[in-house]
Each structure stands twice: as structure tokens, then as C-alpha cells.
Structure 1
Amino acid sequence: MLINTNTLLKIILKSQVIVGLVGCAILMFGLNLLNISVKEVGWTRFVFVFTACVLIYRIEWVIHKFGVDKGLSMWISGKGLESRIFYPLLILVLLLSFFLGRKEWWMLFHLGVISLLYNFPSTLPVNFKPWRSVPFLKVFLIAYVWAMLGSYYPATFLQIPLQSEGLLMQFACLFFYVFGMTLPFDIRDYYTDQRQQLWTIAGAIGIPKTKILAMVSLSLFCYLALELGISSWWLGLTFLLSLVLVGLANPLRSSFYYNILMDGSILLFLLGAVFWA
């Protein structure tokens, strides 16, 4: 039975496969900057990162779409699509965690906790506010998690001193890139965040200034990437593409624009920098 294009895109969006691939690509990118090949590291860590990213974002997606009570019942029941996705992913993450070193386990654990607490359900019967309700925090948390995954995380299992100046530059490079590419998602959620009285950068300074801030952040990334030795032609090409995507962002664009084109351009840059540039 053939699947039409729209159905295929919906499956890709709901499965969070692109997020998992971006996580793996960021790790590859970080290793490439450290002059370490994927073969030297092995595929266990990449499978773990992919699975953990998909699991975390899938949990968040279900909670936001169906609510906490229904989401929990969908997983606990052991029936339906969500259980068939949730439990295999959870078991795989737990099994793969045994193959990680102690330091890298704690590194990944704290990144996972940050990712989950960011979207902690406010409807649970506990006195805790989700971190996303803290004004302006959203894009900084996202940029921090992804930048750590591509810099200090590989340093932990490669036993590279965390005080290394080059490592800090690598973190800053990725932070500015992810920050710049995440701000358009603030623009996407502009009206939703206003209705929920959630203070974001786009809500505070407006959409035009948010685009300018994103472009400044991407320019800082470009400078640091050149300092780190990223190919100038590939960097220039993807930098221009990023500027166009940021410039065309608005709250009325479809999920295809943000979750396929924006996220896809991030994946394209990272993989291109590793394999083609």
C-alpha cells in the first residue's frame, strides 16, 4: 500500500526522527572538530543519542497533544501505537546506558533532565512549574543542551580536559548556531505564547528584532566556525540558506516550514560539514 507525501510527512513529524538525526549529527560534528572519526567512537553512542532524543521529544509531543492523564494511560495500558513506540525506546535507552562510561552517563543524564523539566507538565499534582514558564529561558536551554552534546559530551568519553580553550570555542560556536536557528520557533509560537502569557524573546522585542537577533547570532557562529576550520564554501552556502529561512519565518507558516525546512537545514549543515566540506 502506497503512502502519499502528506501522510509520510506527518509520520516523520510525529515520530521525531529528524530530532534524533539532528542529535546524532551534532555529535558527529563535534567529533569532527576534535579530529575523531565515527569509527573510533563506535555506533553505540550514536544509537543511544538518537533513541534518547526521539524518546524525550515523543514524550513531550504526546503530553502536549493529549494531556498528562491520557498520555500516561496510553503508555501504561500497553496498547496502541504510543505503547508500541514508548516501551521499545525506553528499554533500548536503558540497555545502551550500560555501555556508557560513568562521566558521560552523568553528562547525558543532566542534559536529559533539563530537556524533560523544560516541558514538565504543569497539570501534575506537584508544586513545580515547568521551566518553559520562566521568561526568555526556552531558547537558551535548547541551545545549551545541543551545544553541550556537540562539545563537552564527546570530551568526557575522549578524556579531553574540560578546561580546554578550544572546547569552549566549540561550545560557543554550536550555542550561537542553535540559538539563531531556534529563535524562529519563538516566532512560530508567537500567538500561542501570548495566549498562554509565556514571555519569550519574540514576545518581548517583536518579530522583526527577533529575526535581527537570530541573524547576529548566526553571524557570530559563522566567525567561530571559520576559526575552528569549517570549510568556507560550505559554511557560506548554509549560512545564506539559514539567513533566508530566518528572514521568511512568521507565525502563520506551516509545521512543514519549521519542522522539515528549518530542522532539515540544520541537519544538512552538520552532515555536510562532516562528510562533504
Structure 2
Amino acid sequence: MHKVLIHCFSISFFTQPYFISQYKLIRAFRFLVNSNLWMALAGWSGTYMTYFLANIPVNPYIPLLVAISTLADYNIPPIHQLGIQRTLKLAGIRNLPQIKVLFFLLSISLSAFLLIHLNLIQIVLFLHLGAISVWYALPIKLFGKSLPPLRMINFLKIFLIVYVWVGSIYFLPLLGEIEIGQKEIIGGIERALFFFGITLPFDIRDFYIDQEVSLKTIPHKTGFKRAKVLAINSLIGGLALVYFSYNPPLQLGFILSYLLTTGIVLGANLNRNGLYFTGLIDGTIIFQALIIFVVIQI
């Protein structure tokens, strides 16, 4: 009898509004991640962070442009798989791939509009990064020859990811607004080390997938453990550079965010589900901006 009562209590307890709401929150978060809106938020928050680190007036169009172009960039594969003609003929939005295609089309349109709010050197950098992002994901034809996606070149993809992220969220807001000197260069290197540290776990996650297509990445050369050590060392190196670029209040924010990021990277392994990587590890970009912003306000 007591087992029946416990069972009934359990059913009643776990169907209360709290748990229903919690389930809805998890579903909403999964949608944010799987639709790449989470990455768009990362682009927006990381770019805003550059403004308050550099202590310069915010051009609100640039964080928005980075967010929207990030959304378009991460949704290139779905639209490539469906094809442009089929995409344009979609009658309704019924599933995630179609939603991602819609986001891609809207992002491209809005990005073109937002470009007019950039100075000339920012436009050149943005188009340069955009071209790399497209070629990274898709094959292109050049002089009659079909060239493979840049991500299919051995050991290259992680460096391209770092380059595009640092260029878009760090240097894009600064170019034409302030003189790029030693402090800004060191800040750029710090950003590169941070992004290298959080990107390397994805190569660990994709180890066997890359191996199936004969693509070599750093973990194929070093092994899992050494790759993770390299990621942690990269984060330590980035944190060390903080002392050369920022004052003590900002340093505290960086220390807290780097400690959180290091813990998340240490927890990465092949047994983790996809949400751990695309939700938590990619989310460290957002967490860092939020932590530093809160520290500044204290």
C-alpha cells in the first residue's frame, strides 16, 4: 500500500506547475541553442563587452550586426542542404531546419541594411570575415575549379574560427574608432587565447566524425588529454595577459569568468551530450560578458 501511495505522490509532485515550467524552460533553452540564437546572443554580448572594456561610446548597430551575421553564418549548412530554390518555396515554418533557414534569410537582409552604419574600414573587415565564414562552411568555385570548404583542410578550422570571432567581436568595434596600439594588440591576443581554449573541446567532441572524413585536427595529433591540457594552458595564457591590459576591477571579472570557463572546459569529454558543448562551452562567451559587466557595476 505504501508503495502505491509513494508512486501516486511522485506522479503528483513531478507534475506540479514548477516542474512543468522547468520543462518548458529546458525546451526553450534547447530551441535557443539548436536554432543558433544562443550563438547570436554570444556575438552580441561579446561585442558589447569590447565597448565597455575599451571605454568608448557604443555603436549599437555593430553588436546587432555581429549577432545577426553570426546567426546567418551558423545557419549556412541547413540552407545549403535544402537548396535556395526549395528554401524560397517553403510554404510554412513547421520544423527547426525551416526555422533556421528563415533566420538565415532574415539575417542576410538585415546585415545588408546594418552595413551602412559602419565606417569604411569596418565594412572591409566585415566583408572579409564574411567571405571566410562562407568558404569555411561551403565549397566554392574559383577559376573553374571547385575548392573544398576551408574547414576540410587539416588543422586549419580551429584557427579560422578563432580568427573570425576575434575579428568580429573585438577588432570590428575598435577599427576607425580608436588607434590600435600595443594595449589593443595584447587585448586581441587575449581574446584569441580565450577562443582557442573554448574551441578546442569541439575538436575533441568531433574526433571520430573528423576521422571518418580523413580530417586531422589537433586532438588527432596530441590525443585527448594533451588537447585538453593545451586548451587549459591557452585559457591560463589569456588570463595572464589580462594583467597587461586592464585595471584591477576588470581583472576580477576576468578571473571569475576564466575560472568558470576552465571548469566547464575541464568537464568536457566524449560522453557529454551536445548541449554541454553548444550550450555551456559556447555560453562562456555570454557568461564572461555578464560577469565582467556585473563587476563593473559594483
Q: TM-score range by the shorter chain?
A: 0.7 to 0.9
Give the counterpart of 1:98 among 113, 116, 120: 116
- Counterpart of 1:77 in structure 2 is 89
* 2:126 counterpart letter in structure 1: L
User: Deviation string for 1:221-250 (max 9, x for gaps)?
Assistant: 001112211633332222222222222211
How far 1:212 moved relative to its partner?
0.6
How far 1:122 moved relative to its partner?
7.8
Give the counterpart of 1:48 among 59, 65, 86: 65
Runs of 4+ with >6 A deviation: none
Secondary structure of 1:199 counterpart? coil
* 2:138 counterpart letter in structure 1: F
User: Deviation string for 1:174-233 (max 9, x for gaps)?
Assistant: 000000111011111111111111100011111100011001100110011122116333
- Counterpart of 2:9 in structure 1 is none
Identity %: 28
After superposition, residues 47-196 of structure 1 pair within 5 angstroms as 47-60=64-77, 62=78, 68=80, 70-81=82-93, 82=98, 84-121=102-139, 127-158=146-177, 160-162=178-180, 164-196=181-213
Segments of structure 2 that go 5 or more residues without pairing to the other structure are 1-20
Task: Say which structure, 1 or 2, has more relative contact order (CA 8 Å, 6+ apart).
Answer: 1
Give the counterpart of 1:226 among 236, 239, 243: 243
**CA–CA distance in 1 between the matches of 2:273 and 2:90?**
33
Asked if 1:274 corresponds to 2:298, the answer is no
Asked if 1:14 corresponds to 2:26, the answer is no
Asked if 1:248 corresponds to 2:267, the answer is yes
* 1:72 counterpart letter in structure 2: I
Q: 1:10 to 1:94 in 2, by over 3 A?
A: same
**CA–CA distance in 1 between the matches of 2:174 and 2:209?**
38
**CA–CA distance in 1 between the matches of 2:85 and 2:270?**
33
**CA–CA distance in 2 between the matches of 1:41 and 1:101?**
14
How far 1:29 moved relative to its partner?
2.0
- Counterpart of 1:209 in structure 2 is 226
**CA–CA distance in 1 between the matches of 2:280 and 2:28?**
15
Which is greater in Rg?
2
Q: How many residues align?
A: 266
Segments of structure 1 that go 5 or more residues without pairing to the other structure are none
Q: What is the TM-score normalised by the length of structure 1?
A: 0.87
User: Deviation string for 1:93-148 (max 9, x for gaps)?
Assistant: 1111222222111111111111111111489x951111111111111111111112
